[in-house]
Chains A and B, each alone.
Chain A
Amino acid sequence: MPALLELICPAGSLPALKAAVDNGADGVYLGLKDNTNARNFAGLNFDAKALADGIRYAHNKGVKVLMALNTYPQPDTLSRWHQAVDIAATSGLDAIILADPGLMAYARKVHPNLRLHLSVQGSATSYEAVNFYRERFGIQRAVLPRVLSLPQVENVVNNTDVEIELFGFGGLCVMVEGRCLLSSYACGDSPNTFGACSPGHAVRWQQTPKGMETRLNGVLIDRYADDEKAGYPTLCKGRFDVQGETYYALEEPTSLNSMEMLPEMARLGIAAIKIEGRQRSPAYVAQVTQVWRAAIDAVKKDQAAFKPNPAWMAQLNKVSEGSMSTLGAYYRPWK
């Protein structure tokens, strides 16, 4: 039976992995402790021991483990990425999530049995792109960027055999992911190369008489009054002076929450729903996994009657950036 609405949850640590598994995830995704994945934050992620423990814990409970290897190898350190693929192949995990075609070629050649997923960082938005990765590298699943409307997703699904995974909840990265250079522009490091947008070394928060200021490499991104909710220190969520007016020029601090669209996603045969947030703590993973498990179970039971429970939505808004959420691009009346 093809996969349908598998719940794929983030883990930045072993306790987070256990929280995901214990609260009903079908799969957990994680990364190694270096810039081979796009959540390269100090102290986060898995070393060899945590990885082995995590895989054992998840597999014992029938939960899959996926490894994100979704940054782009740099010429002088290419061997690190190859090594990471080798570790993944020999550790017994269930799939790796890749963005770089060179790395896919390597994985395909050296570990032909390793299951490959196309990362959102690969930025494939059309069925032609998805099918290309299938033909050349045999990818079995693609994670679509959060810039497509649901009809556009449907168009991809109808024209490919590749399983499609969509983001269900979490931080929004709007700039056709994998192609955004804003972080690089401000501090020289970007998700694709360094493994983090707005890496910690470039971020400064400071309480000032005018409010809390967020700076990225000295550039003032936002200043929050005491009663204002804050967002991540990324340039896309900053307030900027545009012709004398200061406002959120790109997007507001908010999280994606596509729960309302679950019945539609079930109808389209979406293979998996991804929850964002490997940088977050076990408490978040537990709370969000629990809510989404309940929602997906409810949809599978009765698509037509499904309505997001207000208590679920409140719980999700509580942990959201800016304490609010949006359907993002999934729903938009214009094309």
Chain B
Amino acid sequence: MNLLNFPKPLARFVSTLPSWPASRAFVAAGNLVAWPSLRDLDWSHVAGRRFRVQVSDLGLKLYFSVNANGFRALHNGLADVTFTATAQDFARLALRLEDPDTLFFNRRLLIEGDTDLGLMVKNMLDAVELETAAAGMPVGMGRVVMKLRHLALK
């Protein structure tokens, strides 16, 4: 199943958005949806490090950091580690439908910068149980997420 296949005009529109508001919107959504299940992880090795997520098909660049209080949007600038993939592949990764190494072998995921930091975050997220994460999401969201995954696995 195709998740998040953006129509071309929408993609073109999104790519014109400046990074800072996009990063803030992303961080706000992340804090609302994902943070409750990520809060208990040990973020001490990650605190203050700068992440960049590049959604290649949307031309979107998101900058943020993570500390014990959640995600924080950052202004553009240098990042310690950069993840690049399409919106579709990021969504498939988030739903545990795809293995990052598989995407890497197929050149659909690129990790640039501090590889250890990138691997650490990937492994920390892998250790979170999707069911627990879904249960921590605001009303209804968790069910939507599990449903999407279920549909895609069919």
- A interface vs B, CB < 8 Å? 12-16, 18, 41-44, 50, 199-201, 203-207, 212, 224, 226, 228-231, 253, 279-284, 287, 318-323
Which residues of A sit under 8 angstroms from B126, Cβ to Cβ?
Answer: 12-13, 15-16, 43-44, 281-282
Interface residue count for B (Cβ, 8 Å)?
32
A15 engages B107 (CB within 8 Å) = no
Rounded to whole Å, the gap between the CB of A2 and the closest CB of chain B is 34
**What is the CA–CA distance of A15 and B98 in the complex, to the nearest angstrom?**
14
Within 8 A of A (CB), among B94-118: 96-102, 104-107, 110-113, 115-118
Which residues of B sit under 8 angstroms from A323, Cβ to Cβ?
Answer: 105-106
**What is the CA–CA distance of A319 and B119 in the complex, to the nearest angstrom?**
18
**Is B25 an interface position by the 8 A CB rule?**
no
**What is the CA–CA distance of A228 and B120 in the complex, to the nearest angstrom?**
26
Rounded to whole Å, the gap between the CB of A172 and the closest CB of chain B is 13
**Is B130 an interface position by the 8 A CB rule?**
yes
Residue on A nearest B128 in the bound complex, by CB: A15
B116 engages A42 (CB within 8 Å) = yes
Which residues of A sit under 8 angstroms from B101, Cβ to Cβ?
Answer: 279-281, 284, 319, 321
A12-B123, A200-B115 known; A224-B107 Cβ under 8 A: yes
- B interface vs A, CB < 8 Å? 45, 84, 96-102, 104-107, 110-113, 115-124, 126-130
**The residue from A12, A199, A212 contacting B107, defined by CB atoms under 8 A apart:** A212
A205 engages B107 (CB within 8 Å) = no
A–B pairs, 19, beta carbons within 8 Å: A15-B130, A42-B116, A42-B119, A42-B120, A43-B124, A200-B116, A201-B115, A201-B116, A203-B116, A207-B84, A207-B112, A212-B107, A279-B101, A281-B122, A282-B126, A319-B99, A321-B101, A323-B105, A323-B106
Which residues of B sit under 8 angstroms from A281, Cβ to Cβ?
Answer: 96, 99-101, 122, 126
**What is the CA–CA distance of A321 and B97 in the complex, to the nearest angstrom?**
18
Which residues of A sit under 8 angstroms from B113, Cβ to Cβ?
Answer: 204
